[in-house]
Amino acid sequence: MNQLIEHIKRFIEIDDAESAIILSYFEEKSYPKKTQLLEEGQICTTQYFILKGCLRLYIINDKGNEQTLQFGIENWWITDYMSLQTQHPTHFYIQTVENSQVMAIRKDALDDLLGKVPKMERYFRLILQKSYAASQMRIKFLYTQSAEERYHHFNSVQPEFVQRIPQYMLASYLDFSAEFMSKIRAGKV
């Protein structure tokens, strides 16, 4: 069975007919590593469900450095919800970190789908509630832990993921410099 349908069934009940309708609104796509799916200044039109691989959402700061704000892996959704919602130009970049496979759905297709299969409102509500809850916790950690604590905490919660991505990307996600990451890892802090 399709991996997205499996994921949806973890949250709501759908039958085969509904599954087929749902899938008809999505496009399955594969992208090589480092493919840009969204760039600053564009209008975000698409939401991605990750089947395989890893994507990230990042910005380029004043000094020209990339700062990763979010990672997405298997069975996570990723998009710039602000630009998607307002249809204003985005401040973000979305890029594949590994060769990746996604199910993509465009904003207008999603609107149609929600009209056809209103149950999906519930699925997305639950997804967003989970994401927002995670985001509240993320802010908690950013506010209370030191750089070193954030690193050790992340490492203990997501050890396999740490192996998958360049350290400098993780450093920027945890909001410290790549050099400082090196020093933490070497125990020189």
Residues at the site binding DNA, with contacts judged by CB under 7 A: 63, 146-148, 166-169, 175-183, 185-186, 188-189
- Residue 147 contact partner, candidates DNA, a second copy, none, CB within 5 to 8 A by sort of partner: DNA
DSSP letter (8 states) at residue 118: T
114 binds a second copy (CB under 8 A): yes
Cα 99 from Cα 109, distance rounded (Å) = 25
* Nearest one of 83, 78, 97, 95 to 42, comparing CA atoms: 83
Cα–Cα distance for residue pair 157/134, rounded to 1 Å: 13
Report the partner that residue 88 touches, choosing among a second copy, DNA, none (CB closer than 5 to 8 A by kind).
Answer: none
Q: Which stretches of 14-136 are assigned E, i.e. beta strand?
A: 27-31, 36-38, 46-52, 55-60, 66-72, 77-78, 93-96, 100-106
Which listed option, DNA, a second copy, none, makes contact with residue 179 (CB within 5 to 8 Å by class)? DNA
Contact partner, 125, from a second copy, DNA, none, Cβ < 5-8 Å per class: a second copy
Distance of alpha carbon 97 from the chain centroid: 11
Looking at the Cβ atoms of 6 and 179, the one nearer to DNA is 179
Residues in the site for a second copy, rule: CB under 8 A? 57, 59, 61-62, 67, 69-70, 80-82, 84-85, 91-92, 114, 118, 121-122, 124-125, 128-140, 142-144, 175
